Amino acid sequence: MSLGKIGHFLIAAHFWFGCYYDWNYVKIPIEIHDMGDSSFNSKKLKFLTYWDALLQSTFFTICFLNDIFGTNEKYPKSTPFFRKLKDLLLPALAFPLAMFVGVTFWGLYFIDRELIFPRSIDPYFPWWLNHLMHTNIMFFIILELFTSYRKYPSRKLGLSILTLFMVIYLIWIHILNVYTNLWVYPILNVLNFPSRIVFFAICLVLVVGMYLIGEKINAAKWGSYSSKLSLKKQ
């Protein structure tokens, strides 16, 4: 059973509100945690977390629009635009990025939170916003995966879109480093050049792994429908 119009609307609205609040009200003084804003003020767009929050907001908005103008049928006679977009966006970006952001953030947080979310910024970044950005993204995308059927794209297409997205973000944080001489994430400041290469490679492997996990879960949950669809075409 799909989350439905109300569920998708509320989830999208709560992510949009989080993005709005973070952009307009979370102001961390440079003397508390300098992220290079005095040299190149990219605001929240420096963080993959914010990119992902915007992505989740957009994805669940598309789910809501699909509930109204598209279809959630397993075997539609024709596939509306919003359904096609929904079926591509979750596998290629929304699920793997949500899981990657959540797992890496909380993993590093419990190892040494100063590497990812220093204690000094706690007074400026509300706890509820932290969970919205790093916990809810995982919970709601998993819920969507289990409650709504989708046709996964070819692995080549899905991984190509995901890899391109990650490469673009990797280029972006290096541009920020050139202009500010600072890294967006504290962990990058304690790694030397070879270690950073290994770190980035591990991150790419991890996000690809998240894609494959999503693909496996989708097949395990909805594979019977895919089999029925194949039989109907014979």
Q: What is the pLDDT of residue 40?
A: 76
Q: What is the pLDDT of residue 1?
A: 62
Domain of residue 178 covers 4-233
Total structural domains in the chain? 1
Q: What is the pLDDT of residue 32?
A: 85
User: Average pLDDT by consecutive 10-residue portion of the chain (234 residues)?
Assistant: 87 98 92 77 90 98 94 81 94 97 96 92 95 97 93 94 97 93 90 94 96 94 55 38
Q: Is 27 left (phi over 0), alpha (psi -120 to 50) or beta?
A: beta
**Which residues are CB-neighbours of 217 under 8 A, at least 6 positions away?**
145, 146
Its sign, for the CA torsion 24, 25, 26, 31, is: positive
27-41 burial, b at 16+ Cβ within 10 Å, e below that, comes to ebeeeeeebbbeeee
82-102 burial, b at 16+ Cβ within 10 Å, e below that, comes to bbebbbbbbbbbbbbbbbbbb
* Furthest C-alpha separation in the chain: 67
Helix/strand/coil percentages in the chain, nearest 5: 75, 0, 25
Residue type, 87: D
